[in-house]
């Protein structure tokens, strides 16, 4: 299989921060908002270079989302950022009415998503945000997999007109996608061709999927790896093309198995091409404190979990 090399571990949120610095220079209408989490969001450079284009809302996420909607009136492109839980669950109705239904060009940028947030524990580890945001009509939902992809996605959404939910994370993880890879919203990336099983992964789980595919290859199993970075609109064509070839699928996401990417795939298959699927995801539990690695192991969110799921789903073909 194609080999991917880790260009050096980095956090996806730093990809967001780096892109914001670039956007600060290239896009005069881009403005940033943050609710008392500037350092975590890695936007200090943007702020230093564009102090007038930054809005510190304090610990008031609802007000931040409304202000972001208002800033579009007058032509601004607001990037409203905070932790993923406070960027979704805390403000769902505000996003729904003032941004999604009102059709405002707001970019909701959410760091520390998922269980790899780590030690802060369950109150901060949102595992339902993909599901929430995907249910909003008109919302684009993106969960990039590494530093490079996050940076590219951030740049891409600035030029797309419409509300976007961009989800990224806290820990330093492998950075393996090409630095110059263009980000196409809604277009799945075929990372590895295979014939026995399709692994569809998003976010931090993509690297794990690649590791799993390598190990499966050694066992004589040919796994296709599809990176769905855009959960909505879902690249149904790419999903169906692959599953029609392999006949079974494992979905992998840092999210509850209820409501997320996995269920979107199950629905797509149910409507077009029913096939066996296994879910690598959290199993309807809250997270807990711990190191990201410990948590991924305990909650079955790593390459080993994917491998196990592949072996299981292949038996069901």
Partner 1 sequence: MYSQKIEITFGAFNNRHLQMAKLDELQDIVTQTRRDILRMVHKVNSGHPGGSLGCTEFMVALYNEIMDLKEGFDMDGIGEDLFFLSNGHISPVFYSVLARKGYFPVEELSTFRLINSRLQGHPTTHEGLPGVRIASGSLGQGMSVALGAAQAKKLNGDDHLVFSLHGDGELQEGQNWEAIMYAAGNGIDNLISTVDRNGKQIDGPTSEVLPMGDIAEKFRAFGWDVLEIENGNDLEEVIAGLNEAKSRTGKGKPVGIIMNTEMGNGVDFMMHTHAWHGKAPNDEQLEKALAQNPETLGDY
In angstroms, what is the C-alpha Rg of the chain? 19
96 near a second copy, judged by CB under 8 A:
yes
**What SS3 string covers 140-182?**
EEECCCCHHHHHHHHHHHHHCCCCEEEECCCCEECCCCCCCCC
Neighbours of 55 (CB within 10 A): 18
From CA 96, how far away is CA 92, in angstroms rounded?
6
Instruction: Give the binding range for a second copy (CB under 8 A) out of 29-37, 47-55, 91-99, 154-162.
Output: 91-99
Least distance (Å) from ligand TPP to the CB of residue 128? 16
13 near ligand TPP, judged by CB under 6 A:
no
C-beta closer to ligand TPP: residue 101 or 273: 101
Burial 174-207 (b: 16+ CB within 10 A, else e): bbbbeeeeebebbebbebbebebbbbbbbbbbbb
C-beta closer to a second copy: residue 31 or 309: 309
171 near partner 1, judged by CB under 8 A:
no
Q: How many chain residues touch a second copy (CB under 8 A)?
A: 43
283 near partner 1, judged by CB under 8 A:
no
C-beta closer to ligand TPP: residue 39 or 293: 39
| The only residue of 38, 115, 157, 238 in contact with partner 1, by rule CB under 8 A | 38
Site string for a second copy, 237-276 (x = CB under 8 A): -------------------xxxx--xxxxxx-xxx--xxx
| The only residue of 53, 104, 112, 134 in contact with a second copy, by rule CB under 8 A | 134
Enumerate the H helices of the chain as residue ranges.
12-26, 38-41, 44-49, 61-72, 84-87, 92-94, 129-134, 147-159, 205-218, 236-246, 261-272, 292-298, 303-315
Least distance (Å) from partner 1 to the CB of residue 41? 10
86 near partner 1, judged by CB under 8 A:
yes
Dihedrals phi, psi of 60, to nearest 5 degrees: -155, 75
| The only residue of 13, 53, 76, 90 in contact with ligand TPP, by rule CB under 6 A | 90
Catalytic residue among 61, 254, 278, 307: 61
Spatial CB neighbours of 34, under 8 Å, sequence gap ≥ 6: 41, 43, 54, 55, 56, 57, 64, 80, 81, 82
Element (H, E) at 231: strand 230-232
Q: List the 197-201 sheet strands across, edge first.
A: 189-192, 223-227, 197-201, 249-256, 277-282
Q: Are 106 and 145 in contact (CB under 8 A)?
A: no
59 near ligand TPP, judged by CB under 6 A:
yes
Least distance (Å) from a second copy to the CB of residue 316? 8
Annotation says 253 is catalytic: no
Active site residues: 61
Binding site for a second copy (CB under 8 A): 85-86, 88-90, 92-93, 96-97, 101, 122-123, 127-128, 131-132, 134-137, 232, 256-259, 262-267, 269-271, 274-279, 284-286
Binding site for partner 1 (CB under 8 A): 31, 34, 36-40, 52-53, 55-60, 62-76, 78, 85-86, 90, 93-94, 96-98, 101-105, 118-124, 138, 161-162, 286, 288-291, 294-295, 298
């Amino acid at each position: 299989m194609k080999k991917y090399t880790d260009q050096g571990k980095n956090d996806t949120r730093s990809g967001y921060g780096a892109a914001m610095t670039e956007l600060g220079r290239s896009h005069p209408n881009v403005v940033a908002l943050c609710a008392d989490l500037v350092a975590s969001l890695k936007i200090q450079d943007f702020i230093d270079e564009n102090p007038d284009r930054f809005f510190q809302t304090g610990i008031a996420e609802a007000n931040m989302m409304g202000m972001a909607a208002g800033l579009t009136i007058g032509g601004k492109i607001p990037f409203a950022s905070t932790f993923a839980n406070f960027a979704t669950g805390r403000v769902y109705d505000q996003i729904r009415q003032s941004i999604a239904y009102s059709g405002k060009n707001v970019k909701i940028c959410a760091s520390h998503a998922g269980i790899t947030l780590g030690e802060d524990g369950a109150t901060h580890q949102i595992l339902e945000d993909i599901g929430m945001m995907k249910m909003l009509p008109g919302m684009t939902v993106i969960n990039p997999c590494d530093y490079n992809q996050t940076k590219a996605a951030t740049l891409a959404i600035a030029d797309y007109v419409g509300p976007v939910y961009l989800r990224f994370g806290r820990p330093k993880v492998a950075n393996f996608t090409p630095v110059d890879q263009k980000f196409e919203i809604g277009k799945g990336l075929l990372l590895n061709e295979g014939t026995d099983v399709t692994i569809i992964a998003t976010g931090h789980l993509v690297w794990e999927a690649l590791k799993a595919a390598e190990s499966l290859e050694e066992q004589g199993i040919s796994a296709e790896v599809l990176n769905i970075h855009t959960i909505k609109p879902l690249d149904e064509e790419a999903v169906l093309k692959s599953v029609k070839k392999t006949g079974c699928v494992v979905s992998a996401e840092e999210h509850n198995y209820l409501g997320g990417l996995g269920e979107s795939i199950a629905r797509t298959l149910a409507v077009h091409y029913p096939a066996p699927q296994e879910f690598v995801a959290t199993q309807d539990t809250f997270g807990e404190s711990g190191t990201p690695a410990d948590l991924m192991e305990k909650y079955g969110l790593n390459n080993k979990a994917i491998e196990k799921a592949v072996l299981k789903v292949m038996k069901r073909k």
